[in-house]
Structure 1
Amino acid sequence: MLDHRVDVLAARLPFPTDGLHLTVLCDEPHVLVVPLDHRLAGRESVTVEDLAGEPMPGLRGSDPAWNAFWRLEPRADGLPLPDGPYVDEAEDKFELVAAGQTVPVSAAAPGFVPRPDLATVPLEGVEPSHVALATREDDRSRLVTAFRRAARTHLPGGPVARAQTRR
């Protein structure tokens, strides 16, 4: 982004934000993704404490803050979750979930199920995933400003009065 290859980026935080202007567009709740026969499948919700002993995947080559955020680290009790397998692509984790090797956290709208052989369980007590619009901090382009305004206005569910702008 800072190298001027793109002017606007919509992505989930966390990512390095130095030199960027961020507009938080929406929050997405977290869910735990489990096989249908998993001990936590079918529960109304789970907490981080319910995940004790469950292997959490990591995304190989990703930013350490990104991996920590999605692995729910650091935990309040100071105990790390067991390392699950590392994957090269985020989508690869669903194959490992179906095989019973890991239980990842994902951002999802209510009712989201990535595959018919998997279940999602709402995760309580953790910060939601923030979807943000990022532009260069010093970009004063009228097109970028108009794009930012349009993104806030035309999100699913109507205008976003709650959109937060941060520098």
Structure 2
Amino acid sequence: MSDPASPSTAPRPGPDLDLRLVRYFAVVAEHLNFARAAAALHVAQPSLSRQIQRLEDALGVRLLERTNQGSRLTAAGAAFLPQAQTLLHTAHQAVLTARAAAPSCTVTIGYVEDLVITPAVRDLRRRRPEAHVRTRHLDWDEARALPEGRIDALVVRTPLPIPSDGLDVTVLYDEPRALLVPAFHRLAGKESVTPDDFTDEPLVACAGMAAQWTGFWRLDPRPDGSPAPLGPMLVDTFEDKLEVVADGRAIALVPADDRRCALRDDLATIPVEGVEPCQVALVTRSADTNPLVAHFRESAKNLLVRET
């Protein structure tokens, strides 16, 4: 009789699963459309297809079938989906649990776009010299790093590009909005404008963002309730937005203090009157007990103020 513990009868290890691929599959399964899933993930559609193929190769089964209407789950895909969702949730909880158990000597502070957090970070390091204070710049579509636990605090403009459930939002200051136009535009050089001055012109929209975020930055609907004309859809960067505007294909609303717009002489910004401002805010997880987060909030409220 063979030894049950012998190598010949030991269970064979299963495939090593890349959690990133599992997350990609879960998003495709949610949308059942590769184009929409790619937009939600901010990846190119061909790349997403290749990653799903890698996952299928690792599992040795077909998870999705293409159809005329989009995609559908195979029997194996339907069986794998709830397990995949559980795996992703468990991995996320494991990260949060490990970080919660560690001594609170580390904090990672995220910030987006052109926002400057140096004064508050410097103050926190002065007050807590023993702490390891890290900073991380994020693209405009990476705010989910906060609820996912990859950062501990985020300085960002409102409206938030992510749901605010489980988050605390501390408004630091109001920031007016400005109209961004090509330098040759009829409105360039004006001291200020109102929505009536550009009511029929298309504004740049960003695919894959929340409706509230997109509507705010496209002024959609307009103050009179009419829909904003559609402009080019972007899926990537703020620099793409600048290029579309400079080319004369659309105009855009931007934060009035955004320094990136001033770096190009083929663009002009004009203050917009009669629209509510955006706000610069500090966002943290409601359940976070890290004292460094509270200390950074104090520093941010005192030092991250709008320059006038």
TM range (shorter): 0.7 to 0.9
Task: Name the structure with the higher strand share.
Answer: 1
149-158 vs 65-74, which deviates more? 149-158
Confirm whether residue 23 of structure 1 aligns to residue 170 of structure 2.
Answer: yes
Name the residue aligned to 2:287: 138
State the shift of 1:110 in Å. Answer: 8.9
Measure the CA separation in 1 of the matches of 2:185 and 2:253: 15
Q: In structure 2, which of residues 195, 215, 224 is the aligned counterpart of residue 48 of structure 1?
A: 195
Determine the C-alpha separation between the residues in 2 that align with 1:60 and 1:110: 21
CA distance in 1 between counterparts of 2:217 and 2:257 reads 16
Greater helix proportion: 2
> Relative CO higher for 1 or 2, CA cutoff 8 Å, sep ≥ 6?
1
Match in the other structure for 2:249: 101
Question: In the superposition, relative to structure 1, how do residues 157 and 108 fare at CA in structure 2: closer, same or farther (>3 Å)?
Answer: closer
Matched with 1:35 is 182
Equivalent residues in 2 for 1:104-123 (5 A)?
104-109=252-257, 113-123=262-272
Q: Pick from 86, 106, 119: which aligns with 2:233?
A: 86
Contact map agreement 1:60 1:87 (CA 8 A) in 2: yes
Specify every segment of 5 or more residues in structure 2 that has no aligned partner in the other structure, as ranges. 1-145
Instruction: Show the 5 A alignment for 1:48-67.
Output: 48-67=195-214
Q: 1:84 Cα shift? A: 0.7
Give the percent of matched residue pairs that are identical in Structure 1 and Structure 2.
47
Q: Would you say the 8 A contact 1:53–1:82 is kept in 2? A: yes
Give the letter for the 2:238 counterpart.
Answer: A
RMSD: 1.8
Tell me, in whole angstroms, the C-alpha distance in 1 between the residues paired with 2:263 and 2:233: 19
Q: Report the TM-score when normalising by structure 2.
A: 0.49
Task: From 198, 201, 219, give the equivalent of 1:72.
Answer: 219
* Cα pair 1:133 1:148 within 8 Å, conserved: yes
Larger Rg: 2
Q: What CA distance in whole angstroms lies between the structure 2 residues aligned with 1:2 and 1:96?
A: 32
Give the partner amino acid of 1:93.
K
Contact 1:59 1:90 survives alignment (8 Å)? no
What is the aligned partner in structure 1 of residue 152 from structure 2?
Answer: 7
CA distance in 2, matches of 1:99, 1:116: 13
Shift of 1:18: 1.3
Inter-partner Cα distance in structure 2 for 1:27 and 1:117: 27
| Structure-1 separation of matches of 2:220 and 2:202 | 13
Q: Stretches of 4+ moved more than 3 A in 1?
A: none
CA distance in structure 1 between the partners assigned to 2:301 and 2:205 by the alignment: 31
Q: Which 5+ residue runs of structure 1 have no aligned equivalent? A: 159-167
Aligned-residue offset at 1:60: 1.3
